[in-house]
Structure 1
Amino acid sequence: MKDNRGHVSWTIYPTKRATDFVLRTDTQVHSLVQAKLVQDAYDKNFSNGVSMYRSATTQSLTYNKQQVKEDSDTISVATYLKDHWDNTYIHTLCYHKDTAYLGVRTTFTNESDAVQHLALLSSFCLSGLSPFTDKNPVGQLELVRFRSKWAMEGRIERRPIEDYDLEESWKASGLAVAKFGQLGSMPVRRFFPIVGLTDASQDVTWLVKLAGAASWQLEALRLDDELVLTGGLPDQDYGQWQKTVEPKASFTTPWAYITVGSGRLEAVAHNFAPTTKADKLPVVFNEWATSWGKPSESSVETTVAALKAHDIDYYVIDAGWFADKNGDWQTNHGDWQVYQQAFPNGLKAATKTIHAAGLKAGLWFEMETVGAAAEQFQNTAHLAKKHDIPITAGTRRFWDMRDSWVQSYLTGKVIETLKTNNFDYLKIDYNDSLGVGVDSPEGLGAGLEDLIDNSLKFIHQIKADCPDMVIENCSSGGHRLTPAFMDITDFSSFSDAHESSCIPLIAANEQNIVPATKNLIWVVLHPEAEPDEFIYRLVSGFLGRICLSGNVTGLTSDQWQTVDAALALYQRCAPLISSGVPLRFGPDVLSYHDPQGWQVAGFSDTADLKTAGQVLLVAHTFDQPGLDRAVLPELGQGWQVQADFGCADLALDLNTNVTLNLNNHNFGAHVWLLERR
């Protein structure tokens, strides 16, 4: 949309709702690019220090031209704008024809003969929300965010925009701003880099996710009746980010990904998921919750012996395979010396044992940081610094991944270790944050972005040197569950929730964020567990990719039969888990530490549950579920059970609407594969 002064904005809506679109003429055009050059003024609407939205740079942007390119796979639309300094901005919109979302980013080109300094350049700015009425009705627009805390990731927050003061004042003056983000090298802290807006009156939801390599910001804003969503890299005021662009040079932002749809939140979020269907989902065994940091050659032998008769595909040796002479590993990483007392014949003997059992072998590295007891902790010439002082977080320092010496050192320690010892699987962990930034001529924020870009390049180097290597993305569980990391790795650890009753809550939250085929869910098993607890944990794994752990050498034959029954049903459900549309029912759960209530999550073969032919229901009860029966009318009628697994007294009544008989059962679980007759 373009006004008579050449200002350009854009919005999106479901194609099925095209006839309902309302083109407003009584609101301002909110530019599809938000930018600020350091010399230009802030907007006047009391926003200085809060937001750089509608800066003088942005208000000077006018339409220049538009180019559309199409090939067999993609359509791209490049909109060219000019500012009052004659610089060029290219808003690039990319659509891959086998997907249901758009990629958006912005390129700035310095057309002058002098250096230019950007204080803000957005990846996206979506306005005209909601585009279905002349005036947005009160209480019908809800802002959607996904909160995060260690081992409690993905809590969904949906609140009316009025709760954030996102209302227009009596005239269009005084910018309303709801701004949130994250500063540092763990991009998922407090929030995921995702924002959504639901128009409840129209049953339409917009979702935007940022690539999220490091620091980021998102803003919901309102000056007139339109709501605006914008975001990308943090601005100079918020994240100390500034970009220096030399004459005739360019800078391009990271991608933002945008979708829109009707229906359930999890169905709209599924638009981001790849269209894959797997007949088998390989099962991972990670020995972290088995040895708790004390793996050894002998523990590998005994555990592999217990696993080899079962349908398990990977054996991952987690932290602790390295240590000093006293066995200290918790602050020793970075030197990467094999702990000889634990592995007297080296790591190759362990991988030989794993391979002989028909399993693939994995190894843990936290390659970007250095522990306080490691010799490399004092190698300050190659460590990341702020104000010329090595950044220290607890007992960790951080390699400066921009340093060619560091890249060479890690190639020898990581890549050569993997290749020499015949590993098939790499778990990359990352357990603290660099904070707001690192020293750089451009400033702390730009330095951080550059450093993390080089971390990503090193992962690409691993993939190039070890093309068959399966790579897991982990950062104290879910602190790097963003496209920047998930798109270049095979699996992601969903959380550090190992021994927690909130595991199914987190797993269901993350159905909106991580494709099920990539989401490794801890299933930690202990022989002393009560039967219901044992089943509760196994059933949680049906919401993603099963990652077994625990004292499996102590399991009884009956317990192994239970595991085998669960794994057999899991593989039967693999096509639906991998390609199905997520579903979720149940009351909001207030406490994740002490959850109460119940939840049914799972997958459907279509987004419209009324017309679905197959569903997988994964039910959990928590403390005090509060009722005997839960009716799921959204599923309609005509279902029959094809297979099931779980606690016997959690049952389904399929005579009319699907009804779950809870029987006030605390902490139970059951999974059903249903087909419509």
Structure 2
Amino acid sequence: MAQEYGYRWGHSGLTADFDLDGDTPRLVRLARPGDHDLKGAVEAALPLVDVVLLGDGTGWSGPRFTGTALGPRLRHRAHHATYGDGWHHLTVELQDPASRLAVFVEYSSPDGVPVLRSRVRLRNDGAAPVTVRSVSSLLLGALPSPDVLDVHRARNDWLAECRWYAEDVRESVPDLGREFHGHDGRAGLRLAGRGSWPTDGHLAMGAFTDRTDGRCWAWQIESASSWLWEAGEADHHTYLSLGGPTADDHQWRHVLGPGEEFASEFAALALGDGFDGALAALTSYRRLIRRPHPDHEHLPVVFNDYMNTLMGDPTTRKLLPLIDAAAKAGAEYFCVDAGWYDDEGGEEDGSGAGGWWDSVGGWLPSARRFPGGLRAVLDRVRERGMVPGLWLEPEVVGVRSPVAAELPDAAFLRHEGGTRVTEQGRHQLDLTHPAARAHLDATVDRLVGELGVGYLKLDYNITTSAPGHLAHSRAWLAWLSSVLDRHPGLVLENCASGGLRMDGASLAVTQLQSTSDQQDPLRYPPIAAAAPTAVPPEQGAVWAYPQPDFTDAEIAFTLGSALLGRVHLSGHLDRMTLSQLGLVQEAVAVYKSLRGDLRTSVPFWPLGLPGWTDEWVALGLRAPVAGATYLTVWRRGGGVAELLLPVPHLAGLGDVRVEVLHPSTAAPGAGRAEWRGEGVRVRLGEAPAVLLVRITAGG
């Protein structure tokens, strides 16, 4: 429709205004209905896309891929808007007259949700090959001035995931006096993820908040491979560029022959009032793009024998009592973790794990660990009313594995020159090759079809950024989809040394996401509290590993960390007293009573996003409209103390009720909570202490 800016597209939750009539098509405004216009936004708007081709370079010298020579050359050919299945779609077709490169900028947005999803398709309509060195998935200028913006990023390291921090954008993008120089500065904010652990170092996310009015723009790059986002200043406004791998940052390039196409990774940008509001929109969007699966509705409790328990050394003798205890505790799935294939150790005399690290790849059950066969152990799981699961690291093949010799070199990722990628004694399969896919198809079909496995924990413990990884990562996700097509009831957990592949592309296919390998229950709360920034709560697997040598308060603490996520129960439950096991049963019952609300709830953080060493940590989940609100608060140090936790969406309402769900109010030193008009005042006993409450209003 015609508007002040030329062309308006969108819906009740989001509008985008385009200038498609000038020499260079531009997105000049992206906003929610009611948002005010930014002065000078039209002049600050950038081209719809930036593409760098070999031999073309940039339009303004500097180490950034924004402001390319090609972007301003692109001419508008057509645009098409459609609507279907609750999604609005817009494709803008562009072409470079010089190279004959056709560019299709594809926008989509779910109806009523303030999130824009974008990717760019390239097609070579010329007569000669072109080499692509970078392409943006979403390019947006005309955001508020760097003078008023804070930028938020999340460090994401092994055992210390989802650690958000903020700084003034001007710390990285200084005001250099454009009026004196006629150019914007070359400085910018740049953040990149590399290779097969795309969230090792940082999450593939970020956000801006406007200090003047609280508005927030939060984004994610949906890539299981390399990615880059960049922000800087353009004509007194802030720009944002999101995309996949680039030549300079990742040694990536893609040659397009005549008639060939290439599509960028998807990226998404959410708008909201404050960080909590933007993350609420992003959470709703993540649920809409993921593959439908029964697990997202039922949210069963998973017991996994690894963390702080068997640690990769399962045997029949060790597993049978754990299986019985897990069933008594209320687990619904039982996953046998690493080591079940290891024939070099793990005899029934408990000799421990063997040297399986560089011999994996065949995925056949160990006869030494399971004298009666692994099937007998899995049958015991079924007899106790649970679904059996197994750990698997499908993408790797150990250098000592017979599979390394059986498969051709082309079935593995290789460096330039043809040498196989080898990391820590393992080769990396390339799922673009049919032999690699056939090997994994046979593996999964044997485990699921013959052994009756209903859950696979898919781990990944090496990392590589070898050429071809982007294509492999896309083939990997397509292979996972094909597995679920053949086995629609199978549940897949995505893990890479904890949360090092916690990206939007993987979350759209798999049902659960490992949030960490953290073994210290005192260090887990900031991870558990911040995990919903990256993954919807019903997909975020949080370890709960109570031990028989814990005090009752310590058992309650470690269990409480998981109750607003997906409970991943572990620990030596088989060695617990009846009283201790009763505490586990109570916590699992609490989780089952609230898990139906997890499916639709969105997160908020009453104390802000947690710092790694914060004494107090809090996470809230609020159901839509008039549903219940849940709040977990942890205290990791000090004696008895009180704290008021703001709950803004319930502030000022009458008849607000607070119910303590965990731990039991009958426990010695149990915490208390009451409504105080603006929030919940909690009183916790001696640390470590945790409290989970349900808050309801009216009715």
Compute the TM-score of the two structures, normalised by the length of structure 1. 0.90
Q: Is 1:272 paired with 2:285? A: yes
Give, in angstroms, the shift of residue 606 of structure 1: 4.2
Query: Is the contact between residue 80 and residue 89 of structure 1 (CA under 8 Å) also seen in structure 2?
Result: yes
Is 1:334 the counterpart of 2:361? The answer is yes
Which segment is superposed worse, 333-342 or 108-117?
A: 333-342
- 57-66 or 315-324: which moved more? 57-66
1:14-413 paired onto structure 2 within 5 Å: 14-18=31-35, 20-22=36-38, 24=40, 27-44=43-60, 46-47=61-62, 50-85=63-98, 86-97=100-111, 99-130=113-144, 136=145, 138=147, 140-165=148-173, 167=175, 169-171=177-179, 172-265=183-276, 266-274=279-287, 281-289=299-307, 290-326=309-345, 327-377=354-404, 381=409, 382-387=411-416, 388-413=418-443
1:9 alignment partner, one of 4, 26, 39: 26
Please give the secondary structure, in 2, of the residue aligned with 1:210: strand
Measure the CA separation in 1 of the matches of 2:261 and 2:491: 35
Give the CA deviation at 1:293.
0.8
Displacement of 1:658 in angstroms is: 3.4
Find the residue that maps to 2:138 and give its secondary structure: strand
Contact 1:321 1:338 in 2 (8 A): yes
Structure 1 residue corresponding to 2:662, chosen from 636, 639, 645:
645
Residues 283 and 161 (structure 1), Cα distance of their counterparts in 2 relative to 1, 3 Å cut: same
Amino acid corresponding to residue 16 of structure 1 in structure 2:
P
Deviation at 1:654, TM superposition (A): 2.6
Give the superposition deviation at 1:117: 1.0
Using the TM superposition, give the Cα deviation of residue 152 of structure 1 relative to its aligned residue in structure 2, in angstroms: 0.9
C-alpha distance after superposition, 1:496-554 (max 9, x if no partner)? 11334221211221111101111111001101012221111111112211010010101
3-state SS, counterpart of residue 67 of structure 2: coil
Rounded Cα–Cα distance in structure 2 between residues aligned with 1:484 and 1:90: 21
Q: Kindly tell me: are residues 588 and 271 of structure 1, through their superposed partners in 2, closer, same or farther at Cα, counting changes over 3 Å? A: closer
In the aligned structure 1, how far is the partner of 2:29 from the partner of 2:553? 47
Given that 2:284 and 2:602 are in contact with CA atoms closer than 8 Å, whether structure 1 keeps it comes out as no
The answer to whether the 8 A contact 2:633-2:692 is kept is yes
Distance 1:95 1:378 in 2: 47
Which stretch of structure 1 is more off in the superposition, 656-665 or 522-531? 656-665
State the alpha-carbon separation in 2 of the partners of residues 338 and 280 from structure 1: 30
State how far apart, in whole Å, the 2-side matches of 1:421 and 1:315 are: 14
Instruction: Tell whether the 8 Å contact from 1:324 to 1:339 is kept in structure 2 after alignment.
Output: yes
Residue 202 of structure 1 deviates from its aligned partner by 1.9
CA distance 1:423–1:657, change in 2 (3 Å): same
- Cα distance change of structure 1 residues 642 and 120 upon mapping to structure 2, 3 Å threshold: same
CA contact (8 A) 1:89 1:109 kept: yes
Deviations 1:622-647 (A, max 9, x none): 12489643353635254222342227
2:349 aligned partner:
none
Q: Is the contact between residue 370 and residue 396 of structure 1 (CA under 8 Å) also seen in structure 2?
A: yes
Q: Which residue of 1 aligns with 2:14?
A: none
Residue of structure 2 equivalent to 1:667: 688
- Within 2, Cα distance between the matches of 1:402 and 1:606? 42
- The one-letter amino acid paired with 1:314 is Y
Q: Which amino acid is 1:56 matched to?
A: A
Summarize deviations over 1:652-671 as a string: whole Å, max 9, x none.
23354434344573221011
1:284/1:421 CA distance change after superposition, 3 Å: same
The answer to whether structure 1 residue 459 and structure 2 residue 480 are counterparts is yes
1:440 aligned partner:
none
User: C-alpha distance in 2, partners of 1:660/1:351?
Assistant: 47
Moved more, 246-255 or 162-171: 162-171
CA distance in 1, matches of 2:176, 2:108: 32
1:506 equivalent to 2:506? Answer: no
Question: Which stretch of structure 1 is more off in the superposition, 382-391 or 196-205?
Answer: 382-391
The 3-state SS of whatever aligns with 2:549 is: coil
Q: Where does the alignment leave 5 or more consecutive residues of structure 1 unmatched?
A: 131-135, 438-443
Quickly say closer, same or farther: Cα 1:240–1:99, change in 2 above 3 A.
same
Determine if contact 1:334/1:371 at 8 Å carries over to the other structure. Answer: yes
What is the aligned partner in structure 1 of residue 9 from structure 2? none
Between the aligned partners of 2:53 and 2:553, the Cα distance in structure 1 is 60
CA distance in 1, matches of 2:642, 2:609: 17
Aligned pairs, number: 651
Q: State the shift of 1:163 in Å.
A: 1.4
| Structure 1 position 76, deviation (Å) | 1.1
TM-score of the superposition, structure 2-length normalised?
0.88
1:600 alignment partner AA: A
Deviation at 1:372, TM superposition (A): 4.2
Instruction: Judge conservation of contact 1:650–1:660 (CA < 8 Å) in 2.
Output: no
Mean CA deviation greater in 344-353 or 112-121: 344-353
Q: Deviations over 1:472-497 (max 9, x none)?
A: 11111111111211111111111111
- Distance across 1 between alignment mates of 2:470 and 2:283: 29
Are 1:434 and 2:457 counterparts?
A: no
* Residue equivalent to 2:12: none
CA contact (8 A) 1:596 1:623 kept: no
2:143 touches 2:239 (CA, 8 Å); kept in 1? yes
Q: Which moved more, 1:635-644 or 1:26-35?
A: 635-644
Amino acid at match of 1:425: Y
Q: Any conservation in 1 of the 2:103–2:121 contact (CA below 8 Å)? A: yes
Q: Distance in 2 between matches of 1:2 and 1:656?
A: 48
- Identity score, percent: 22
Aligned-pair CA distance for 1:215: 0.6
Distance 1:664 1:557, change over 3 A: closer
Contact 2:335–2:390 (Cα < 8 Å) also in 1:
yes
8 Å contact kept, 2:296–2:539: no
Residue of structure 2 equivalent to 1:598: 616
**One-letter identity of the residue aligned with 1:182:** G
Give yes or no for contact 1:596–1:624 (8 Å, CA) kept in 2.
Answer: no
Instruction: Measure how far apart 1:13 and its partner are.
Output: 4.3
Q: Secondary structure at the match of 1:10?
A: strand
Supply the AA of the counterpart residue of 1:223.
Answer: A
Q: Give the direction of change, closer, same or farther, for the CA distance of 1:466–1:491 in structure 2 (3 Å limit).
A: same
Shift of 1:307: 2.4
* Unaligned segments of structure 2, at least 5 residues: 1-17, 346-353
Report if the CA contact (8 A) 2:460-2:495 is conserved: yes
- Contact 1:334–1:370 (8 Å) recurs in 2: yes
